Amino acid sequence: MITLKKALTLPKEEIIEFKSDLKKKINEKKDIGAYIEQLTAKEISESGEGIPIAIKDNIQVKNWNVTCASNILQGYVAPYDACVIENLRQEGLAPFGRTNMDEFAMGSSTETSFYGKTKNPHNINCVPGGSSGGSAAAVGGGIAIAALGSDTGGSIRQPAAFCGCVGMKPTYGRVSRYGLSAFSSSLDQIGPFTQNVEDNAILYDIISGHDRRDSTSANIDYKKVSNNLNPDRKLTIAVIENYLESASDEVRKKIEESIEELKKAGHKIIYKNRLNTKYDVATYYIIATAEASANLSRYDGVRYGNRADCVNLKEMYKKTRGEGFGDEVKRRILLGTFVLSSGYYDAYYIKAQKARHLIKEQFEEIFREADLIYAPVTPSTAFEFGSIKDPLQMYLEDIYTIAVNLAGLPAISLPIGFDNKKLPIGAQFIGKNFDEQTLFDGALSLERLLK
């Protein structure tokens, strides 16, 4: 698979040929289940002349079915393009096929999808991660040159780590959420999946910028990072010690080996500790489910997608939502409704917001001494399907990623090696708010050191 940087220089006729070859590769690897449906000749034609980019099924593409991998949105056709899709088209790229995901981005394994599971391209018995598992598997499996996903609590970085590609979550507000189906509005961010760090910076530049249609979009000066990448910068990098303690032996070993490479390259390494990750998990799942409960109330059988057969309004609401949502989505809606209910709002939701502020302050304290933070992405490599049956245990797969979203910080996951089963191991850099330049510089430095 050629790089995005190379593809952007291809003449028109070679792009068309590349798309045809890509369709063949997708058919050859259809058992991975990265795409929700097979790409058709009509879709290839409608995608225009641009470089093909895979799109997660919760990002609006005009005239496409966009379902968030849920039964409740079957039949819905997007009437407009998301801001990021407009940006792609303006820069000579084109949306090219919908990728599978956990239903409404709720999950860490892409097993909750209405369409069935996506498989890890390195071992089809293992999960690709989630919720953006389809996008990660497509790029990691060589059937997408690049892809877009969304990251609410690690949903780009975790599957990127499992599938051996580069995945980046921008600073909250840097990329417009206009056209992204909302899960948790104060946490969601669209971000890129690519084969390498430089491609990731290029795609990040394309989708970033202020959008007046998104009230949370940051209206600040923007300077492209891909033109100014400097892997030779010497940075102060903070390693979170208590993160390493709870990682598997193989993940910890690879992280420690990469730290030594960073030291040899002249980067200064300092060691810090953070709050126990159980506070991150509790805070995240209170805030995220509360916002999900509010956001998903719009799916009621009246305005979008499916409507169940019924005899009155009350039955329509109950049957449509009961039949339309999967178990995990129902679980999170119920939890979110509970923490927002009278008598529990102060005990749970208000406390979670205070804890969120504490988490943000702790990151700010570390960044007074460091340019970047370096940490694992996941406690272990990709796990096998069905090996985690307890929803609470599944939530712990996000212990290293969710604090980043709570603080609104940018972060990037990149592959640093493999375990003894030849499954990818990923690590992440975390940056200061709106300092994506330093984030990409550090990631490019490490990528080159490990080649």
* Whole-Å CA distances, 451 to 237, 258, 319, 340, 372: 20, 11, 54, 49, 21
Asked about 56 being catalytic, the answer comes back as: yes
- Determine the Cα–Cα distance for residues 242 and 239; give it in Å rounded to an integer: 9
- Determine the Cα–Cα distance for residues 306 and 358; give it in Å rounded to an integer: 42
Look at residues 193, 198, 146 and name the one whose alpha carbon lies nearest to residue 170: 193
| Residue of 47, 70, 109, 131 marked active site | 131
| Residue of 70, 108, 132, 155 marked active site | 155
Dmax over CA atoms of the chain, in Å, equals: 71
Cβ pair 128, 35 in contact under 8 A? no
Partnered with residue 451 across adjacent β-strands are none
| DSSP assignments along 272-324, one per residue | E--S-HHHHHHHHHHHHHHHHHHHGGG-SSSSSS-----SSHHHHHHHHHHHH
| Residue of 29, 56, 169, 432 marked active site | 56
Asked about 422 being catalytic, the answer comes back as: no
* φ, ψ (nearest 5 deg) of residue 343: 95, -20
- DSSP SS3 for 377: coil
Cβ pair 158, 108 in contact under 8 A? yes
Asked about 263 being catalytic, the answer comes back as: no
Q: Do you find a cis peptide bond into 131, omega within 30 degrees of 0? A: yes
DSSP structural state of residue 389: -
Residues contacting residue 258 through CB under 8 Å, at least 6 positions apart:
416, 417, 427, 446, 449, 450
- Determine the Cα–Cα distance for residues 104 and 330; give it in Å rounded to an integer: 11
Hey, which residues are catalytic here? 56, 131, 155
